[in-house]
Amino acid sequence: MKWIFGVAAMAACANLWASASPLASPCVLTVGAVVGTHPTLEVAALLEAAPTKDEFQTSEQHVANVKQFLATLPAQVQGGQLCVSPIADQKLFDYDADAQVLWANVEEASGTRIFRSTVGQITVRDVVSDEWDRAVDDRVLTNAMGVQVAGINSTSKSASVGFTTDQMNDLHKSLPYHRFKSAFPSRALAIPIDSDAARDVKPHAAIVYQYRLRDPFVARGTDVHAATIDAPVSIAVEKVVVLADLVAVGVIDLRDGKVLAAKPMSVSVK
């Protein structure tokens, strides 16, 4: 039950940043730059018309069709200058006053899931940016052991950006460990910053991912969690996922969009 209320609070916090950028505005994560994220639903809507490969097309024909389609999109969408931020959660940040470092829990900002796409099932590590149509009700649930318990049933819809697990694993391996308020350490981005500045920035900090689109562009599915004895909560989230390659990850100040830290990946913006 606490988990459900926590997610609801996170969704409310997601609306704090009013500087979401139109798709025509570029987002390039460079320290000191001012950027805004792009609405994932708008990106997904643009990709509804993306060409799909069928058995009668050669790979060369499909590639040509994709290039023709991408040419109709805004230059920033074509060029890998899109950004997404996970639903706001201050638990992703921790400050070490002795080391004068603000830590961003990049590993916990995404999750590995399986979705449907035009090429079959696809596994991604996705960053959930939008959630809506949430409905929560009390219900008698049957857990995995077949025992009926009084619990909570939650349904919602969400939009996310999905990266390949290889890309995200490479990112996480390149980051140091930090033990947040949990039993196990997580891979995190370290931001050197003095205590006074950290006290001011931490409540407004957000992790941001810069990305470029990846064929087949969109996947869909439902993320389901069944009730258990310890957690009598049933969750079903209907998702639309924009498929992407990771360009960079960073941390920004939500108040003005200023980039506080950035780590580019091997995929470059062309």
Statement: residue 2 has pLDDT above 60: no
Reported confidence tier of residue 19, pLDDT bands at 50, 70, 90: low
Give the integer Cα–Cα distance in Å for 41 and 130.
Answer: 8
pLDDT at residue number 22: 78
* pTM of the predicted model as reported, rounded to 2 decimal places: 0.84
Decide: 166 and 180 in contact? Cβ < 8 Å: no
Q: What is the pLDDT of residues 235-263, one digit of tens each?
A: 999 999 999 999 999 999 999 999 999 99
Q: Could you give the C-alpha distances from 20 to 102, 227, 240, in angstroms and in order?
A: 24, 36, 19
pLDDT at residue number 45: 92
- Measured over the CA atoms of residue 196, residue 202, residue 206 and residue 208, the dihedral's sign is positive
pLDDT at residue number 144: 67
- Considering 46-50, 59-63, 245-249, 264-268, the range whose residues carry the highest mean pLDDT is 245-249
pLDDT at residue number 143: 67
pLDDT at residue number 15: 39
Give the integer Cα–Cα distance in Å for 14 and 194.
Answer: 26
Q: Average of pLDDT values for 56-63?
A: 92
Q: What is the pLDDT of residues 130-186, one digit of tens each?
A: 988 989 988 887 766 777 878 888 999 999 999 999 999 999 999 999 999 877 999
Q: What is the pLDDT of residues 184-195, one digit of tens each?
A: 999 999 999 999
Statement: residue 1 has pLDDT above 60: no
